[in-house]
Amino acid sequence: MRAGIVGGGRGAFIGRVHRMAAELDGQALIVAGSLSSSPQIAAESAREWCLERSYDSYVEMARAEASMSDGIDFVIVATPNNLHYPVAKAFLERGIPVVCDKPLAHTFDDAEALVDLVSRTGLVFALTHTYTGYPMVREARERVVHGQIGEIRKVLVEYHQDWLMHPLEQMGNKQAAWRTDPILAGASGCVGDIGTHAANLLEFITGRRILQLCADLSTHVSGRRLDDDAQMLLRLEGGGKGVLSCSQVACGDENELSIRIYGSSAGLEWHQHEANSLWFKGAGKSWQRLRTAGDEISTDGAAASRLPSGHPEGYLEAFANIYRAAIDDIRRCARDEPLQRQYPTVEDGLRGMRFIARAVESSQQGGQWLTL
Amino acid sequence: MRAGIVGGGRGAFIGRVHRMAAELDGQALIVAGSLSSSPQIAAESAREWCLERSYDSYVEMARAEASMSDGIDFVIVATPNNLHYPVAKAFLERGIPVVCDKPLAHTFDDAEALVDLVSRTGLVFALTHTYTGYPMVREARERVVHGQIGEIRKVLVEYHQDWLMHPLEQMGNKQAAWRTDPILAGASGCVGDIGTHAANLLEFITGRRILQLCADLSTHVSGRRLDDDAQMLLRLEGGGKGVLSCSQVACGDENELSIRIYGSSAGLEWHQHEANSLWFKGAGKSWQRLRTAGDEISTDGAAASRLPSGHPEGYLEAFANIYRAAIDDIRRCARDEPLQRQYPTVEDGLRGMRFIARAVESSQQGGQWLTL
Amino acid sequence: MRAGIVGGGRGAFIGRVHRMAAELDGQALIVAGSLSSSPQIAAESAREWCLERSYDSYVEMARAEASMSDGIDFVIVATPNNLHYPVAKAFLERGIPVVCDKPLAHTFDDAEALVDLVSRTGLVFALTHTYTGYPMVREARERVVHGQIGEIRKVLVEYHQDWLMHPLEQMGNKQAAWRTDPILAGASGCVGDIGTHAANLLEFITGRRILQLCADLSTHVSGRRLDDDAQMLLRLEGGGKGVLSCSQVACGDENELSIRIYGSSAGLEWHQHEANSLWFKGAGKSWQRLRTAGDEISTDGAAASRLPSGHPEGYLEAFANIYRAAIDDIRRCARDEPLQRQYPTVEDGLRGMRFIARAVESSQQGGQWLTL
Amino acid sequence: MRAGIVGGGRGAFIGRVHRMAAELDGQALIVAGSLSSSPQIAAESAREWCLERSYDSYVEMARAEASMSDGIDFVIVATPNNLHYPVAKAFLERGIPVVCDKPLAHTFDDAEALVDLVSRTGLVFALTHTYTGYPMVREARERVVHGQIGEIRKVLVEYHQDWLMHPLEQMGNKQAAWRTDPILAGASGCVGDIGTHAANLLEFITGRRILQLCADLSTHVSGRRLDDDAQMLLRLEGGGKGVLSCSQVACGDENELSIRIYGSSAGLEWHQHEANSLWFKGAGKSWQRLRTAGDEISTDGAAASRLPSGHPEGYLEAFANIYRAAIDDIRRCARDEPLQRQYPTVEDGLRGMRFIARAVESSQQGGQWLTL
C-alpha cells in the first residue's frame, strides 16, 4: 500500500515515528509527502526519506495524488493541531483515507465538521492514540470486557512528563513553541497534548465513558500561555469514580503514562515504562505479572505482539498496531466490506475535543463539576 | 520508663504494634493496662503480655497509676476513635503524658477540647501518624526544607487498601465493625482512618498546609454506613496543587501508601512497600535511589535508622521512631526543658480533624471547593 | 526470661541488633553482659543499655550467673569469630543455653568440639543465620517441601556487599580489622562472613545439601590478607546444580542477598531488599508476587510475620524469629520436652565450617572440585 | 538497498524479526529470498512477504542475484546453525556481503574457514548478536571504555529461558527439534544458542576477553541430546573474575538476559526486561537509573535510540541497530572507504565458537579449567 504524509519534516519528532510504524509490517510504504510548510525543508526532508514525490503544499498534494493511477492509498496527518482539520478535509474530499495525529482538531466546531465529513464519505479515519496499541493495554480491555474485574469502582490514570518544566518555548524550541501557542495548539496545552491520551486510555480499557469532571488546570511556568499541568476528578458511566492527572512539568518523569483500575473482583495496573507487563490483582490473590505473548494472554492481546514472550516490545510496535488495523480497514473499505474500526476513530476524537473543552471550562469556573 | 496502655487487647491489631514500638529501643516497658472494655478479655490479655497491673477500666487505671510512686510515666491510647478523647483526658488531667492513636478524636469539638487541655497541662501529647517515622520520609522532608526540590508544584499522595472490599462489618469482623460505624469511628470511614494519614504525610514532608480541597467520597460496598473510598483535589500553601486518593476497597492493594512531589528543580517519590528507598529526580538528571542509612543521607534521615544500609527496616521501626521522640520529650518535660516535638502533635491532630470534616462536607455538597 | 550477652559493646553493630531481636516479642530481657574485652568500654556500654549486671570477663560472668538464683536463662555470643568457641563452651559447661553468631567457630576442630559439647549437655544451641527467619524464606521452604516446584534443577544464590571495597582495615575501622584478620576471623574473609549465610540459605530452603563445590576466591583489595570475593559452582544432593557468588567489594551493592531456585514445575525468587515478597513462577503461568501475611501464605510462613499484609517487616523481625524459636526450645528443655530446633543448629554451624574450609581449599588448588 | 534472505520462512521466528529490523530505518528492503528448504513453503512465504523473487535453493539464489544488475546488495542468513557456513560461503564467494545469525558456524573448522573467506574477500560480514544493539548496552560499554567504573573486578552475566523445560523436541516443535539436534545445532544446545550471546555481551561491554573457564553443563530434560543448562566460572583479561549462567529450563524466566559488572570505582547493571534503563552505581553514591535518550547519555548510547526519552524501545530496535551499522559499512565498502565494524564481526563469531567448544570440553572433563 502506498502512503503519503503531511508534516513531520526535519525537526519534528512524530513524523519519523509515523513512518516506521506505518511501514513496520511491510504492508505500506510512504512514497509521497508535503513534509513542511517551508518548501526547502519539505524538499530536503523528502530526499532524506527517499520519497518518490515531494510537494510544497498539502493542497497540491491532495489534488495530485488523487488524480494519479498509482497515487497514495492513504494519508498521514502529522502537523501541528491547527492544521489537522484542513489537511484531513482536503484528502477526505478527494476520497483519500486519513490516519491523523491527535487531538482531532483545533476547535470543537472543526472536530464536529470532521465527524460529518468522515460519515458522509464513508472513508477510513484513524486517530493515533498510540497507547491503545500496546499489547497489554489490549489485554487489559479484554479482561474488563470479559468481566474479570467485576464492576469498576475506581480508576487512576496519569500522564506525566517534564520536558516543559523550563520555558523552552522562549528558547527557540519549535516543538515547545507550537504546543504552548493557543493559535496553533488550541484551548489547552497539557490537557490537549497528553491529558486527552489519558482520558482516551481510560475509556478504551474500561469501556466506560467519562460523564462528569471537575478540573484544576495550572500554568506553573511563568510567561506560558496555556496550561502545563492538570488534575481532575471524574465520574464514570456505571458509577465508578476516577482521577486523571497530567503534567508537562513533573520534574523527573520522562513520559510516565499509567493506569490503575479497581473493580469489585480484581484490579489491573499498567505502566508504559514497563509496557510488556500487566498486573492482575484478583481479590485475595497474589498479584500476577501478565506478560506480552505469555501463555495466559487472550487472543486479542496476543495478536498485538510481534515477538515471543520476553523480547521487549515498545512504542513503535504499539504505534504500528494502530496502523495495522487502519490498513486492514482501508483494504476492507476498498472491497466494500464492513469496517471493523479496531483503532481510535473520529468519534473518539470528538469525545477527546469535548473532554478538552470541558476541562478548560471547569477550571476557568474555579473547579466546577461539568457534564461531558 | 514505665508505660501503660488503654485498648489493644486480644483481637486488636494495633495494640501489639504499640507495645513492640514503645519498647524497641529499650527505653520503656509497658507495665500496666486496661486492655479491653470487657474485664475478662482485659485480664487475659494482660496476662499474655506479662503486665504487672491490669485494670477493668481506664478511669480506675488513671486514678490508681497517678497515685503510685512507681506509676506509669506515660499512657498509650489504642482504643477505637470514640474513646480517644475521654481516655486521653482522664490521664492528662492526672498529669500523665499521652501517646494517642489517630485520628485525634471522635468529633471536632472533642479535638478542640483536647488541644486546650494539652496546652493547659503543658504535658507531652504525641499522635501516632506512624508514617512520619520512616527514615526516608524524614529524608524527604529534609530535602524539601533545604530547598533541594525548589518550589513545590504538584503533589500526589495515595493510601490504598482493599481489606474492606467485602462487607466484613456484616460478617463479624470487629476491626471492620467499629471502623464503619459512625458512632465509634466518627463522620468518616476511609478518610478518617487512612486519608488523614495521607494528608498528614503530605503536610509533614512538604511543610505546606492544605488550604482548600474538593472531595468526592464514595461508599462502594452496599449497606456500608461510611465512605470506603475518596479522591480529592487540593490547593496548597505557596501555590502548589495536589491530589489525594484513599481507598479501602482498592482490590489488590494491601496497604499502598505513596507520595510523589514535583518541585521546580527536582522531584521526590516514596512508596511504603519499598520503604527503605527514596527516589530523588533532579531536573535533567537520572533518578537517584537514595537508601536508608546510605552515604548521602542527612543527619536527620540517618538518625531514624537502626541498621546499616541494606538491612531492611519496616513499619515497627518507623513506629518506634515516634515513640523515641515522644519519650525524649517526656524526659525533657520532667527536667523542665523545652519540648522539641519531633512527632505529630495535638495540633496536627486538630488539623487532621478539620481535614476530615471538610472532606465530608465538600463531598456532601456534590464536590465543592472548601477552605480548611 | 533473663538473657546475658558477651560482646556487642559500643562500636559493634551486631550487639544492638541481638538485643532488639531478643526482646522484640516481650519474652526476654537482657539483664547481664560482658560487652567488651576492654573493662571500661564494657562498663560504659552496660550502663547505656541499663543492664543490671556488667562483667569484665565472660569467664567471670559464666561462673557468677550460673550460681545465682535469678541468673540468666541463656547467653548471646556476639564476639569476633575467634571467641565463639571458648565463650560458648564456658556457658554450656555451666548449663547455660547459647544463642551464637555465625560462623560457628574459628577452626574446624573447635566447631567439632562444640558439636560434641552441645550433644553431651543436651542444651539448646542456636546459630543466628538471620536470613532463615524471614517470613518469605520460610514460605519458600514450605513450598519446596510440599513439592510445589518439583525436582530442583538449578539454584543461584548471591550475597553481595561493597563495604570492604576500600582497605578500611588499614584505616582504623574495627569491624573491617577483625573480619580481614586470619587470627580473629579464621581461614576466610568473605566466604566465612557472608558466603556461609548464602550456603545456609540454599540448604535451608531447598532441603538439599551441597555435595561438591568448585571455588574461585579473590582478594581484590591490595594488602588484604583474606578473600573479599568468591564465586563457586555447586552440585547438590538430588542432582541439582548451583552457583554461589559472594562479595564484599561489589561496588554499589549494599547488602544484596538473593536466591533463585528453578524446579521442574516452578521457580522461586527472593531478594532481601524486597524481603516481604516471594516470586512464585509456575510453569506456563504468570509470575505471582506472594506477600508476607497474604491470603495464600502457608501457616509456617504466616507465623513468621508480626504485622498484617502490606506493613513492611525487616531484618530485626527476621532476627527475632530465630530468637523466638530458640526461646521456645529453651522453655521446652526446661520442661524436659523434646526440642523442635526451628532455628539453625550447631550441626548447621559445623556444615558451615566445612563449607568454608572446602571453599578455601578448592580455590587454593586452582579451582578444583571438592566433596564437602 | 536491496536485501535477500535465506531461511526464515513460515514457522520460523527469527526470519520476520530480521525483515523488520533490516527495513526499520527505511534504508533497506528485502526483495529476494530462499525462505525454506521446502520449495512450497519457500514460495508461499515469499508471497506473504511480497518478495519480488523467490528461489528454491540458496545456491541458485546466490548465482542469480550475483548476475543481476539490480541484484541484492547483501544477504541475510537465518537458517539453522549447520547451514550458516555453506550459505554464507555461497554468497561471499560471489561478492555479496552477509548478515548472519549466530553462532557463526556448526563446527570450529567451518568457523575458521569463514574467517579466512571474509578476510580474503574484504566483504562486510555482520553477526547478529542482537543484544549489543541495545542503547543501554552501548552506553555501558562507553562508560567502561572511559574509565568510569575503574578496574573490572567481577562480572555476572546470565541468560535464562524456560521454553525447553519440557521435551518439546519430542512433541513436534520444529524450533526445539533443530536446536537440540547435534547434527543441526552443533556440539552444544544451550551454550551454543544463548550462552554464546551472554559471553559476547560480557566481552562487548567490558572490552575484556575471557581467558579461562570452568564449566558445568547439564541436560535436565530426559532424552535430550544436548545441554539445556550451563554454569561457568570465568577468568578475564586484566584479572577480573566472572560467572556465566545460561539455561533453557529455568522455569518462569521468559528470556532474562542480564549483566552486572563491578569495578573498582563503580558498578553497572542491565536487564533486558527493563532494556531502557542502565543502573550506574558509583562508590558511596546512590544508584542512578540512566535512561535511553536521557540527558546524561553518551553520544554513542544516544545514537542507538530512535525515540525521545520515556518512549519504550525494544528488541526490534536493538536488532535494527546491528543492521544500521552493517548497512553503513556495506556502503563504505562500495565506496572503498575503511570499514568501521560497529557490529559483531566474523572474528567475534570465531571467539564464540571457541567459547562453545571449550565449555563443552571443560564440562566433559568433569569441570576442569581450560584456556580459551
Tens digits of residue pLDDT in B254-299: 999 999 999 999 999 999 999 999 999 999 999 999 999 889 999 9
Average pLDDT on D38-60 reads 92
Q: Retrieve residue C43's grid coordinates.
A: 562498663
Q: pLDDT for A103-147, tens place per residue?
A: 999 999 999 999 999 999 999 999 999 999 999 999 999 999 999
DSSP state of A194: I
Biggest distance spanned by C-alpha atoms of chain C: 63
What span, in angstroms and rounded, lies between the C-alpha atoms of A286 and B58? 41
Chain B residues close to C19, C-beta within 8 Å = 26
Residue A363: which H helix or E strand, with range? helix A346-364
Q: What is the CATH number of the domain that holds B140?
A: 3.30.360.10
State mean pLDDT over D327-352.
Answer: 96
Q: Which of B284, B288, B294 sits opposite D288 (nearest CB)?
A: B288
Mean pLDDT for D141-153 is 98
Neighbors of chain A with 3 or more C-beta pairs under 8 Å? B, C, D
Distance between CA atoms of residues C196 and C108, nearest Å: 14
Interface contact C288-A288, CB threshold 8 A: yes
**Looking at the partner chain, which of C280, C286, C291 has a beta carbon nearest the beta carbon of A296?**
C286
Q: Quick one: C221 and C196 in the same domain?
A: yes
Contacts of B146 (CB under 8 A, 6+ apart): B298
Do the chains contact at B307 and C313, CB–CB below 8 Å?
no
How near does any CA of chain C get to the CA of B220, in Å?
Answer: 22
Question: Which of D216, D245, D369 is facing C156, going by the closest CB pair?
Answer: D245
Q: Is the pLDDT of residue C89 over 90?
A: yes
Chain D residues in contact with C281 by the CB 8 A cut-off are: 251-253
Kindly state whether A154 is in contact with chain B, defined as any CB-CB distance less than 8 angstroms: yes
pLDDT at A227 over 90: yes
Which of B1, B128, B130, B254 should we substitute to test contact with C (largest number of C Cβ atoms within 10 Å)? B254
The answer to whether the Cβ–Cβ distance between D367 and C233 falls below 8 Å is: yes
Give D79-111 pLDDT, tens digit per residue. Answer: 989 999 999 999 999 999 999 999 999 899 999
Last residue of a domain, one of B123, B153, B187: B123
- Chain B residues close to A218, C-beta within 8 Å: 153-154, 241
Q: What is the pLDDT of residue C11?
A: 74
| B266, B280 Cβ separation under 8 angstroms | yes
Query: Is D338 domain-assigned?
Result: no
Structural domain contains residue C345: no
Size of interface A-C (CB pairs under 8 A): 30
Instruction: Nearest by CB to B289, from D286, D291, D294: name it.
Output: D286
In C273-302, the residues whose Cβ lies within 8 Å of chain D are 279, 281-283, 285, 287
Query: What does the pLDDT look like over A37-48, one tens digit per residue?
Result: 889 999 999 998
CA distance A341 to A327: 10
Give the up-direction half-sphere exposure of residue D151: CA atoms within 13 A in the CB hemisphere.
13
Looking only at the bridges linking them, the beta strands covering D210-218 and D369-371 are antiparallel
CATH number at D9 reads 3.40.50.720
The residue out of A55, A88, A123 marking a domain boundary is A123
- Whether residue B47 is found in the same domain as residue B76: yes
Q: What is the pLDDT of residues C29-67, one digit of tens each?
A: 999 999 998 889 999 999 988 899 999 999 999 999 999
pTM (2 d.p.): 0.96
Residue D57 grid cell: 535453493
Instruction: Report d(CA C315, CA B367) in Å as an integer.
Output: 45
Whether B242 maps to a domain, the answer reads: yes
Nearest to C254 among B13, B161, B309 (CB): B309
Nearest to D88 by CA among D40, D46, D53, D121: D121
- Shared domain for C209 and C357, answered yes or no, is yes
- Same domain, residue pair A183 and A300: yes
Same domain for C170 and C30?
no
Say whether both A282 and A254 belong to one domain. Answer: yes
D42 to chain A, minimum CA–CA distance in Å?
A: 18
CB contact under 8 A, C287 and A288: yes
- Which pLDDT belongs to residue C313? 96
Same domain flag for B147 and B70: no
Cα separations (Å) of C205 from A143, C152, C344, D60? 36, 11, 12, 59
Nearest-CA residue of chain D relative to B290? D286
- Which residue in the block uniquely carries the three cell numbers 544493539? D133
pLDDT at B312 exceeding the cut of 90? yes
Cβ pairs bridging A and B (under 8 Å)? 137
Judging contacts by C-beta atoms under 8 Å, the chain C residues touching residue D285 are: 252
A149 in reach of chain B (CB within 8 A):
yes
Query: Could you say which of B153, B229, B249 has the minimum Cβ distance to residue A229?
Result: B153
Q: Give yes or no for a contact between D269 and D288, defined as CB atoms under 8 angstroms apart.
A: no
C323-333 per-position pLDDT tens digit: 999 999 999 99
Whether residue C155 sits in one domain with residue C114? no
Q: Both B205 and B178 in a single domain?
A: yes
Tell me the residue length of chain C.
Answer: 372
Could you say which of B75, B102, B123 is where a domain stops? B123
Q: How many domains does chain D have?
A: 2
Partners of residue C294 in chain A, C-beta under 8 Å: 286
**A148 — contact with chain C (CB < 8 Å)?**
no
Hey, is the C-beta of B238 within 8 angstroms of any chain A C-beta? no
C49 interface with B at CB cutoff 8 Å: yes
User: Which of D276, D286, D298 to substitute to test the interface with B, most B CBs within 10 Å?
Assistant: D286
Average pLDDT of every residue of chain C: 96
Average pLDDT for C172-185: 91
CB-CB: which of B49, B294, B311 is closest to C315? B311
Contacts of B218 in chain A (CB under 8 A): 153-154, 241
Interface-testing mutation among A13, A311, A319, with chain D (most D C-beta atoms within 10 A): A311
Give the model confidence (pLDDT) of C331-369 as tens digits: 999 999 999 999 999 999 999 999 999 999 999 999 999
Contact in structure between C139 and C297 (CB atoms under 8 Å):
yes
Look up the ipTM and state it: 0.95
Same domain, C36 and C75: yes
**Domain assignment of residue D86, yes or no:** yes
Counts for chain D of helices (H) and strands (E), in that order: 13, 15
**Of D102, D72, D108, whose CA–CA distance to D90 is shortest?**
D72
Per DSSP (E only), the strands in C152-284 are 152-161, 210-218, 229-236, 241-247, 255-263, 266-271, 277-282
Give the range of the structural domain holding residue A205, as residue numbers without chain letter.
Answer: 134-307+352-364
Contact state of A311 with D314 under an 8 Å Cβ cutoff: yes
SS3 (DSSP) at B161: strand
Q: Could D316 and A315 be called an inter-chain contact, meaning their C-beta atoms sit closer than 8 Å?
A: no
CA contacts within 13 A on the Cβ side of A157: 25
User: Is D225 at the interface with chain A, CB within 8 A?
Assistant: no
The answer on D269 and D150 residing in a single domain is yes
Does C339 map to a domain?
no
Q: What is the pLDDT of residue C10?
A: 80
- B291 neighbourhood in chain D, CB within 8 Å: 286
Q: Express each pLDDT in A15-29 by its tens digit.
A: 899 999 999 998 999
Q: What is the pLDDT of residue C14?
A: 85
Q: How many CB pairs under 8 A join C and D?
A: 137
Comparing CA positions, the residue from D357, D332, D355 lying closest to residue D343 is D332
Rg (CA), chain A: 20
Cβ–Cβ < 8 Å for D269, D279: yes
Confidence band, pLDDT 50/70/90 cuts, at residue C73: very high
Distance from CA of B237 to the nearest CA of C (A): 31
Alpha helices in chain B (DSSP H): 14-23, 39-48, 58-67, 84-92, 108-121, 135-145, 174-179, 182-185, 190, 196-206, 299-303, 315-334, 346-364
What pLDDT is recorded for position A9? 84
D310:A26 CB<8 A: no
Count of other CB atoms within 10 angstroms of residue A357 = 20
Residue A341 maps to a domain = no
Q: By percentage, how much of chain A surpasses pLDDT 70?
A: 100
Distance from CA of A283 to the nearest CA of C (A): 10
pLDDT of residue C175: 87
DSSP string over D301-324:
HHHT--S-TTS---HHHHHHHHHH
D367 contact residues in C (CB cutoff 8 A): 214, 233, 369
Contact B245/A at CB under 8 A: yes
What's the mean pLDDT in C301-314? 94
Asked if the Cβ–Cβ distance from B273 to C273 is below 8 Å, we say no
Chains within contact range of chain B (3+ C-beta pairs < 8 Å)? A, C, D
A288, C290: Cβ pair inside 8 Å? no
Q: What is the mean pLDDT of residues A253-282?
A: 97
**Interface touch C280/A286, C-beta < 8 Å:** yes
Specify the pLDDT at position D227.
98
Give the Cα separation of B87 and B59 in Å (integer). Answer: 8
C291-299, long-range: CB < 8 A, 24+ apart: C291/A286, C291/B254, C292/C135, C292/C136, C293/C135, C294/A286, C294/B254, C295/A284, C295/A285, C296/A285, C296/A286, C297/C135, C297/C139, C298/C139, C298/C142, C298/C143, C298/C146
Is D322 within the bounds of a domain?
A: no
Nearest CA to CA, how far is C198 from chain D (Å)? 16
- The position carrying cell 568501521 is D340
Q: Is the pLDDT of residue D240 over 90?
A: yes
Q: Are C164 and C61 members of one domain? A: no
The distance of D20 to chain C (nearest Cα, Å) reads 28
Which position has the grid cell 474530499?
A93
- Does C319 reside within a domain? no
Per-residue model confidence (pLDDT) at position C334: 93
Q: Are the beta carbons of B66 and B95 closer than 8 angstroms?
A: yes
Tell me the pLDDT band of D174, cut-offs 50, 70 and 90: confident
Which residues are within 8 A (CB) of C292 and not within 5 positions of it... i.e. 6 or more apart?
C135, C136, C275, C276, C277, C301, C305, C307, C309, C313
Do the Cβ atoms of A310 and D20 come within 8 Å?
A: no
8 Å CB contact of A252 and B214 = no
D245 part of contact set with chain C, CB < 8 Å: yes
